Copies of this chain bind each other. A is one copy, B any other.
Amino acid sequence: MNAERQSWKEVRDRIRDQILDRTYAPGDKLPRDADIAEQFGCARTTVQRAMQDLSDTGLIERKRKGGTHVRTDPVSRATLDIPITRLEVEKSGATYGYQLIDRRKLPMPRDIAAKLEQVEPIPMLRVQALHLADHNPHIFEDRWVSLETAPEILDVDLTRYSANEWLVRNKPYTRFDLRIYAISADEKIAKMLATEPGSALLVIDRTTWIGTATITSVRSFTVPGYQLLASN
């Protein structure tokens, strides 16, 4: 029993030490927060904060009804925040620019339908746009928007306001799918991003749904040198 006031970091470190010395082995269930709080002589909210941190970094798993377990297969867990592109550019200190390349209603191609898990064809708007930083290409986005879920997009002046910003602000999602990978720029993409064909580009594919209804699917081609960052 230690009745002194302990910070949540001290409590976290004590719990982590107990995991590392196998007091609690991988797969083991940890005591209830209230019991740990009593054992350590600290507030239950302090234990909760410590547990949150151990969970955020992937060492333990918390379940609402199943309690807390030591992960059998620890992971390196990171929270990736993908901001609205305009804000990302402005935050970096650069001047944001935006060009609508194309905007048209189109039948949904098969590969997009598959990504959207959409069996029935739905009316879609395809929007291609270029985001600039200090007048240089930054991200080229090739986007499909469901006109069933987001018919209001037809009233948005996409020559001035990006579909990216409009959707993030107005169409929150309940489900998403994210894929990050590298490609070699083909002729078209290279020209769009003012780089050489064959350049290595980071690509971010995102699809969002609200309930079971598709909102949008977008492939973002980033300029060479682009980095996705995360830290805690």
* B74 and A84 form a contact (CB under 8 A): yes
* B20 and A57 form a contact (CB under 8 A): no
CA distance A230 to B177 in the complex (A): 6
A76 at the interface (CB under 8 A from B): yes
A219 at the interface (CB under 8 A from B): no
* B227 and A57 form a contact (CB under 8 A): no
* A64 and B49 form a contact (CB under 8 A): yes
Known: A73-B83, A202-B202. A78 touches B226 (CB 8 A): no
Contacting residue for A57 out of B83, B172, B224, CB 8 A? B172
* A87 and B73 form a contact (CB under 8 A): yes
Contacting residue for A181 out of B75, B82, B225, CB 8 A? B225
With a cutoff of 8 Å between Cβ atoms, the chain B residues found around residue A180 in the complex are 180, 202, 227-229
CA distance A14 to B58 in the complex (A): 31
CA distance A73 to B224 in the complex (A): 26
* B202 and A181 form a contact (CB under 8 A): yes
CA distance A58 to B81 in the complex (A): 8
Interface residues of A in 34-87 (CB under 8 A from B): 49, 53-54, 57-59, 64, 73-84, 87
Identify which of A122-130, A139-147, A193-201 touches chain B.
A193-201
Binary per-residue interface labels of chain A (113-140) against chain B in the complex, 1 for a CB within 8 Å, 0 otherwise: 0000000000000000000000000000
* A80 and B230 form a contact (CB under 8 A): yes
Contacts beyond the supplied A20-B170, A53-B174, A182-B183: 4 A-B pairs with Cβ under 8 Å? A75-B81, A76-B81, A178-B229, A181-B228
* B78 and A176 form a contact (CB under 8 A): yes
CA distance A54 to B172 in the complex (A): 9
With a cutoff of 8 Å between Cβ atoms, the chain B residues found around residue A229 in the complex are 177-180
A169 at the interface (CB under 8 A from B): yes
CA distance A180 to B12 in the complex (A): 29
Contacting residue for A178 out of B183, B199, B230, CB 8 A? B230
CA distance A150 to B178 in the complex (A): 34
A173 at the interface (CB under 8 A from B): yes
Binary per-residue interface labels of chain A (180-217) against chain B in the complex, 1 for a CB within 8 Å, 0 otherwise: 11111000000000000011111100101000000000
